[in-house]
């Protein structure tokens, strides 16, 4: 069993509510979506078997919070993860995911600790809606520590935000909700939209935060 991995590196988490913590990142190659705001270029990969990747992770010093499974979309390589994650049983596992593959999440939910779940708004991504997939995914993810983030662009429409809020509210008003500005469009106009969206979201959810991508500002991966 081998996985396609673009890179393995140590850095700080740049997104969401765990921003600033030290992590080992495993960037898996490939994604099932093609969002128009995507900022991750995956042009090449190396194949790792379970033993080789485990040794690679263990080669880093132990001064980090967790191991981040990111991409791309890590859950596309679910068969590898089922074999690999038990090798990391003494490490905290942080899953970064687009939230569209609930059946795959269910196969490893007991082996992850933190889930950073995207909600993909069609007016942001330029893709179709994934409301059914997101609903099924969040229901499973709530078994663990989960927060939801969504990218806000100049094109993002309030009607899509309302659907995301309704989905989260139906499960739990306390789920942290991160509004992440599209870094390519970050200006005063987009920030004004973000503040309005935050104010609206707080009518229904208790924990709503505007969090840009820290790593883009400080020039790290």
The residue written with tokens 């990747």 in the block is 53
Which residues share a beta bridge with 179? 150, 210
Q: What fold does the segment set 2-218 form as a domain?
A: TIM Barrel (3.20.20)
User: Which backbone phi and psi does 178 adopt, to 5 degrees?
Assistant: -105, 125
pLDDT (tens digit per residue) in 127-155: 999 999 999 999 999 999 999 999 999 99
The pLDDT score that the predictor gives to residue 42 is: 86
What confidence category does residue 8 fall into, taking pLDDT thresholds of 50, 70 and 90?
Answer: very high
Q: What is the pLDDT of residue 25?
A: 98
* pLDDT cut 70: percent of the chain above it: 100
How many whole angstroms separate alpha carbon 92 and alpha carbon 84? 14
How crowded is the C-beta side of 177, counted as CA atoms within 13 Å?
Answer: 29
CA distance 177 to 146: 10
Per-residue pLDDT, 219: 87
- Cα separation values, 198 from 32, 129, 193, 210, Å: 29, 21, 9, 7
Per-residue pLDDT at 39: 83
Q: Is the pTM of this model over 0.95?
A: yes
Q: Mean pLDDT lowest for which of 41-45, 178-182, 208-212?
A: 41-45
Strands 2-12 and 177-181: unpaired
- For residue 62, the model assigns a pLDDT of 84
* Phi, psi for residue 8 in degrees, rounded to 5: -130, 125
Judged against a pLDDT cut of 90, whether residue 203 lies above it is answered with yes
* Number of helices (H), then strands (E), in the chain: 8, 9
* pLDDT band of 93, cuts 50, 70, 90: very high
- Give the pLDDT band of residue 216 (cuts 50, 70, 90): confident
- Which tens digits make up the pLDDT trace of 37-83? 998 888 899 999 999 999 999 999 889 999 999 999 999 999 999 99
**In 3D, which of 184, 177, 185 has the Cα closest to residue 211?**
177
Residues of the chain above pLDDT 90, percent: 93
Domain boundaries, the chain: 2-218
Exposed / middle / buried, residue 123 (Cβ in 10 Å: 0-12, 13-18, 19+): middle
């Amino acid at each position: 069993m081998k996985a396609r991995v673009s890179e393995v590196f140590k850095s700080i988490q740049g997104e969401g509510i765990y921003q600033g913590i030290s992590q080992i990142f495993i960037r898996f190659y490939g994604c099932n979506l093609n969002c128009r705001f995507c900022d991750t270029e995956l042009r090449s990969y190396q194949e790792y078997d379970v033993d080789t990747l485990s040794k690679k992770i263990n080669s880093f010093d132990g001064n980090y919070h967790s191991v981040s499974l990111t991409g791309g979309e890590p859950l596309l390589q679910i068969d590898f993860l089922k074999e690999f994650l038990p090798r990391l049983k003494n490490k905290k596992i942080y899953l970064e995911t687009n939230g569209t593959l609930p059946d795959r999440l269910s196969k490893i939910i007991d082996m992850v600790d933190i889930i950073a779940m995207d909600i993909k708004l069609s007016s942001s991504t330029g893709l179709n809606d994934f409301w059914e997939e997101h609903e099924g995914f969040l229901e499973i993810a709530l078994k663990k520590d989960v927060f939801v983030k969504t990218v806000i662009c100049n094109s993002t429409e309030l009607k899509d935000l309302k659907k995301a809020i309704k989905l989260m509210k139906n499960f739990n008003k306390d789920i942290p909700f991160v509004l992440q500005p599209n870094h390519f469009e970050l200006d005063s106009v987009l920030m004004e939209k973000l503040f309005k969206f935050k104010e609206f979201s707080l009518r229904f959810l208790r924990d709503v935060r505007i969090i840009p991508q820290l790593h883009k500002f400080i020039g790290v991966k």
